[in-house]
Chain A
Amino acid sequence: MTYLITHRTLYDYSEPVTVSHHAARVKPRPLRNQRRDDFSLSISPEPALRKMRTDFFGNRVCFFSIQELHDRLEIVATSRVTVSPETPPAATLSPPWEEVRSEFSDPVSPEVVEPYQFAFASSMIRSSPELADYARPSFAPGVPLLVGALDLNRRIFRDFKYDPVATSVATPLEEVWRSRRGVCQDFAHLAIACLRSLGLPARYVSGYLRTRPPEGQPRLVGADASHAWFSVYCPSIGWVDLDPTNNVQPDEEHITVAYGRDFSDVSPVSGVITGGGRHEVRVAVDVEPLEIDEDDEPLPYDPTDLDSVDPEIYRDPKPAPASGPSID
């Protein structure tokens, strides 16, 4: 399935901003089952400086700074991404979870250093015996890792209520745990914290989700939002994604942008401004499925990061599509 994704972020400041520095992680990563066909990023006012870099986790990040007085900042990322369906790995055939845990306890082979670094506390996620206790019913002795992870995914979906007003990006995990409410980011953090508390590596994935309108109704443009889920590392298979907000295994409808240890590593847009007074931020995401071409060839598996051959030059920002998201 091919999607045209428009991710628009708008800041309105009560007083003029004299200088601002920003980092945007909004460029979807090329993956085994995901191809980035097209990407553009338009920023207004035009930044004095902008650069694309690869961060520690291999995500593409755009640094830009605006040095002229402004009281509004608009960032529009437009991506065309093709996601191909994948047969989910056979959960029952994955190794027992204790085996995975012992692979990640001292001494750890230097070969699994990459996933190993996702086994530790990060700035928003801390392990605790309490979370380990919560996770344990899913991980009875000898249970295959993915069977346990799927069960944990299902239990979080069941035990926690989706509540967009209960939390913010700054809500600590302890609060989510206590109130049993939150949004996708919180549930992903929670699942990761549970897995790490058992000694298993898990990472945070930020991206988009195709939302389906209720039966018989048209798709609402701009009604979508950024989404987040988690990924657990399974030796011999690799990273396996799970979405506790929807109790699904991401397939063709999840579009991955970036991954890291937690939200703070992959925050889509962050920045520091000088001046500005109070600010108001509005985000609109539109995930538009494009016509499915029957002749669409299946994606070849390309293990190399397409970014490495990407020229560091930006196209002129494309005008927003006529049916583009409205912000109001």
Chain B
Amino acid sequence: MTRVPSVAPEDTTPPSLFARYAAEGGVFDELRDERGKIRPHYRTLLDHLEEIGLGELKRRSDSARRLVQEQGITYTVYTDSLGVERPWQLDPVPLLLSQTEWVGLEAALIQRATLLNQILSDCYGPQELIRSGWLPPALVFAQPDFLRPAHNVSAPHGTFLHFYAADLARSPDGRWWVISDRTQIPTGAGYALANRLVSARVLPEAFRENRVTRLARFFRDVQAGLARLATRRTDDPRVVVLTPGPYNETYFEQSYLARYLGYSLVEGQDLTVRDDRVYLKTLSGLERVDVILRRVDDDFCDPLELRNHSMLGVPGLLEALRAGNVAVANALGSGLLQCPAFMSFLPGLCRHLLGEDLLMPSVATWWCGQKNAARYVEDHFDDLFIKPAFRSHLRGMPPDRSLTAEERTLLKRRLAFQPELWVAQERVQLSTAPSWTGSELAPRPVGLRVYLVATESGYRVMPGGFARIAPEAGGRFISMQRGGASKDTWVISDGPVEEMSLLQTGAGSVELRRVGNNLPSRMADNFFWLGRYSERADASARLLRATLLRFQPESTGMSLPFLDPLLATLELQGQLTPSATNPELRKNPEALEADLIGAIFDEKRNGSLFSIATQLQRLGMLVRDRTSTDLWRVVSQLGDRLKPLEEGQVLLAGDALGILSQTLLHLASFHGIARENMTRAQGWRFLDMGQRIERAYYLCRFLDSALQSPEADNPSVLEAVLEVADSTLTYRSRYNLLPDLAAVYDLVLLDDTNPRSLLFQLNQLEKHFQRLPRERENALPSPAHRILIEALARTRLLDPRDLSRVSENWSATEPGLAIRNLLRDLPRLSDAIAVSYFAHSTISRAAVK
């Protein structure tokens, strides 16, 4: 324990920032001792805060919020159906711990992790603890988290518990207690790291003066620890982070950690087991995986032997593990020890297994599977917090209110029926720490999660942690799901601190690289479709704008020739209601106008601009950790203007035109960011290929309709062609006369300097194919490439002057035929690319029984 040195008299008068800082009686306050004196390790921070003053602290708190936003730190809240992500709530004022105290905490945590690992290794091995009566059999066998298929699957170096986190609370007497053990997928270390980067920037002076112990060494230990798990003899073992996907609550953290540690972030579908080895499916083929850092729950990891409907796992993983060809951290089944009932056995087990007393107590726990404990719980029913002992459908006491009489009877009955399913714990009293409320510093209940990793020389503790504060003063429960905020945790070192960062490794020079890790096929697939949908949105908006501009409901001339090709194209693309099903629609201007508005906003119409934008957002989410925050921001805001109309809301063509122009600008910034800010790596290549194919297709679709028009050479129709192909200005700068058939089609079909022309798209595609992996290695072109080569050759040979006979018979003209063929070949090209490059990713998984 820290001895409180004698304090100068002024310390009893708190500075103005803390004028109203009144700690609750009966709880431990991190800032002040029971006599109201400031604890010495807070002194430097306090002086600093006092120096900068309230106004400046407010300003820095805002800047912390901005940093959080800029870094895209988010946490997914499940109940929030619309925007599933909430920005991170970060309190800029850290929680401070003195070095002296920290040393004690470290020793206790290392002991606990070592103990838990030994228990796990026994439960999944010889089960001596059960046989010799140290662990009640029911505690293991009644648990759904005891995975029988994982029994006797060994772990490299005997490390089942590679990562471990403990939730700590400080009781009124100043002792730290463990309130829960996180043994399966300890989350939050990445958030702690993100918090550190923000807090160190927001309070740089205090951070420096306080000699805060750096976190980087811990993450280097993580890297070394994971590399050590590889069973293959290789200098460069491949480690991947297995994520449940972007809809998981801590997806941000997973991608953040993967990036920070330099690992690929993969989903179950990216991995495949062949010959009992795990491989990552990439554009260049299958690549061996040595270590999987998993963020997928135990029983979801292998649908063959565990929960068999899981789409998140890797079928055959357990067999690969048994064969010793891959390592998973934490070992499958490690969730077993997350069961709170184990806590009551730890003191005895610690003496038995380690020959030591348990250094840090756990919150008092009674497992009702034991008769004596059950009796105690029955006698103290209302003083305890009763909850399910195991993961189950059962509900215990609600955390924030007391039971109703009815609930009380039900719970008592359940407890009597199957006591082994229940555990009771003492209600926890948290300490309070100074926290920024937005206007002042006030004491708020705080809980601390600390992290450990297994290394060659035993467990190492992250010097710091993930502190969470309750939203209100008397709050006892802390949950990010319930809207609490987090804090950085500073361990105040006594001596100089080691400067280190993983981002620039100190030792030796960095090996320069021009290519990143090979892109998983699934990601290439997502990028490809992101490109297709972004262009689809662009082309649809352009067509709709051209249509609405020419559409005048008050004029009776509905059969304007230049409107027909536009309407026909929109119809074929699923934007307008098919005229065959309702011919009246085209004759009635009001109905047509409503249909056109529907083509923009109707959420039920698959082809509507709104639906396209929704798809675009979904795809943007899937590639999010491989694109810039700006790109994501543009994509995520795209749908905002296109929200479906509310009941009874009327929108005029003029309003819609404004929205379409805005949308086009928005898309232009998307494409601008993609073009200017993405490295020319595989992701960008597939995005651009998708975009080129889609643009070529829309152009052909519209030209095909325009050429079929009886007035294909009418200047009004040709103007529409120029407009849809965004080539009006170029045309005027060259010809300066009324649109001429051959000249217009030359510009939009064959001019390879025009980025909107057909030939330009095909040429770009050809350039991409030259650089695709595997295309270069094979002597003969791939099926996809063959389709492109043929289309390109046919297009290059076209002569726009052939179109002079178009009004007699469009289908007899070479360009007309070529366009028709392209309408057939472009989808084939897209499919062929999918087969060659993403085939194993477009899988449908069926569990066979």
Q: Give the B-binding residues of A (Cβ under 8 A).
A: 11, 18-23, 48-49, 51, 53, 55-57, 63, 65, 67, 105-108, 110, 113, 116-117, 120-121, 123, 127, 129, 132, 169, 264-265, 267, 269-279, 281
Separation in Å of the A288 CB from the closest CB of chain B?
Answer: 26
19 pairs, A vs B, C-beta closer than 8 Å: A18-B839, A18-B840, A19-B274, A55-B149, A57-B148, A63-B319, A65-B273, A106-B369, A110-B132, A113-B141, A116-B137, A116-B138, A120-B420, A123-B144, A269-B849, A272-B304, A273-B846, A275-B844, A278-B846
Could you say which of A11, A57, A123, A274 contacts B843, with CB atoms under 8 Å apart?
A: A274
Known A-B contacts A18-B840, A23-B305; the reply to A110 vs B131 at CB < 8 A is yes
Give the docked Cα–Cα distance between A123 and B148 (Å). Answer: 12
In the complex the two chains form, what is the Cα distance from A105 to B136 in whole Å? Answer: 11
- Cβ contact within 8 Å between A56 and B151: yes
| Interface residue from A18, A107, A113, A272 paired with B847 (Cβ < 8 Å) | A272
The interface residues of chain B lying within 8 Å CB-to-CB of A267 are 849
| CB-based contact B845/A110 at 8 Å | no
Residues of A within 8 A of B369 (CB): 106
Q: Which residues of A contact B417 (CB under 8 A)?
A: 127, 129, 132
Determine how close the nearest CB of chain B comes to the CB of A200; give it in whole angstroms.
Answer: 14
CB A14 to nearest CB in B, in angstroms, measures 10
Asked if B736 is an interface residue, CB under 8 A from chain A, the answer is no
**Contact (Cβ within 8 A) B844 A277:** yes
Give the distance in Å from the alpha carbon of A115 to the alpha carbon of B844 in the complex: 40
Inter-chain contact A270/B848, CB cutoff 8 Å = yes
Give Cα A57 to B148, complex, Å: 9
**In whole angstroms, what is the CA distance A105 to B420 when docked?**
10
Point out the residues of chain B lying under 8 angstroms from A120, CB to CB.
138, 141-142, 420
Q: How far is the CB of B46 from chain A (nearest CB, A)?
A: 53
Docked Cα-Cα span, A57 to B272, in Å, equals 28
State the interface size on chain B (CB cutoff 8 A): 42
A275 contacts across to B, CB distance below 8 A = 843-844
Cα A242 to Cα B150 in complex, Å, equals 30
CB-CB under 8 A from B149, the residues of chain A are: 55-56
Given the contacts A18-B840, A272-B308, A274-B840, A113 and B131 also touching, CB distance less than 8 Å: yes
Q: Is the CB of A108 within 8 A of B845?
A: no
**Interchain CA distance A127-B418 in the complex, whole Å:** 9
CB distance from A262 to the nearest CB of B (A): 12
Determine the chain A residues whose CB is within 8 A of the CB of B137 once the complex forms: 108, 110, 113, 116-117
Any A CB within 8 A of the CB of B94: no
Q: Give the most central of A21, A267, A276: most B CB within 10 Å.
A: A21
Q: Lowest 8 A-B CB distances belong to which pairs? A: A272-B315, A117-B141, A56-B148, A120-B142, A21-B316, A271-B848, A21-B315, A274-B843
Whether B131 pairs with A272 at a CB distance below 8 angstroms is no
User: In the docked arrangement, what's the CA distance between A279 and B149, Å?
Assistant: 27
Q: Within 8 Å CB of B138, what residues of A?
A: 106, 108, 116, 120
Rounded to whole angstroms, the CA-CA distance of A264 and B131 in the bound complex is 27
B371 on interface, CB distance cutoff 8 Å = yes
Residues of A within 8 A of B142 (CB): 120-121
Please name all residues of chain A whose beta carbon is closer than 8 Å to the beta carbon of B848 when the two chains form the complex.
11, 20, 22, 269-273, 279, 281
Which residues from A are CB-within-8-Å of B654?
Answer: none
Interface centre among A107, A270, A272, by most chain B C-beta atoms within 10 angstroms, is A272
| Nearest CB in chain A: distance from B326 CB, A | 15
Q: Which of B236-289 contact A (CB under 8 A)?
A: 272-276
- A-chain residues with CB within 8 Å of residue B308 when the two chains form the complex: 264, 270, 272
- Chain A neighbourhood of B144, CB < 8 A: 121, 123
A113: B residues at CB distance < 8 A:
130-131, 137, 141
- Which residue of B has the minimal Cβ distance to A168? B849
Please tell me if the beta carbons of A270 and B370 are within 8 angstroms of each other in the complex.
no
Q: Do B849 and A274 touch (CB < 8 A)?
A: no
Q: Report yes or no: A106 in contact with B136, Cβ–Cβ below 8 A.
A: yes
Given contacts A21-B316, A110-B132, 9 further A-B contacts (CB under 8 A): A22-B848, A63-B319, A106-B369, A117-B141, A123-B144, A127-B417, A272-B308, A274-B845, A279-B848
In the complex, chain B residues 113-158 whose Cβ is within 8 Å of any chain A Cβ: 130-133, 136-138, 141-142, 144, 148-149, 151
Minimal beta-carbon separation of A121 from chain B (angstroms): 7
Give complex CA distance A132, B418 in Å: 12
Residue contact A270 to B849, C-beta cutoff 8 Å: yes
Report Cα–Cα, A57/B149, bound state, in Å: 10
Beta-carbon nearest neighbor of A276 in chain B: B846
Residue of chain A at shortest CB distance from B146: A117
Nearest Cβ on chain B to A247's Cβ, whole angstroms: 28
Closest to A9 in B: B848
**Is residue B303 contacting chain A, with contact meaning CB distance below 8 A?**
yes
Among candidates A51, A123, A129, A271, residue contacting B304 with C-beta atoms closer than 8 Å: A271
Chain B residues contacting A121 (CB-CB under 8 Å) are: 142, 144
Minimum CB distance partner of A268 in chain B: B849
Instruction: Write the B717-743 contact mask toward A (1 if CB under 8 angstroms, else 0).
Output: 000000000000000000000000000
- Which residue from chain A places its CB closest to the CB of B133 in the assembled complex? A110
- Are the C-beta atoms of A272 and B151 separated by less than 8 Å? no
Q: Cβ of B303: which chain A residues have Cβ within 8 Å of it?
A: 272
Q: Is B413 on the interface with A (CB-CB < 8 A)?
A: yes
Chain B residue nearest to A270 (CB atoms) is B849
List the B residue with the shortest CB-CB distance to A128: B417
Which residues of chain B are near A49, meaning CB under 8 Å?
A: 275-276
A51 to B849, CA, bound (A): 20
Q: Which residues of A contact B370 (CB under 8 A)?
A: 106-107
Interface residues of B in 766-812 (CB under 8 A from A): none
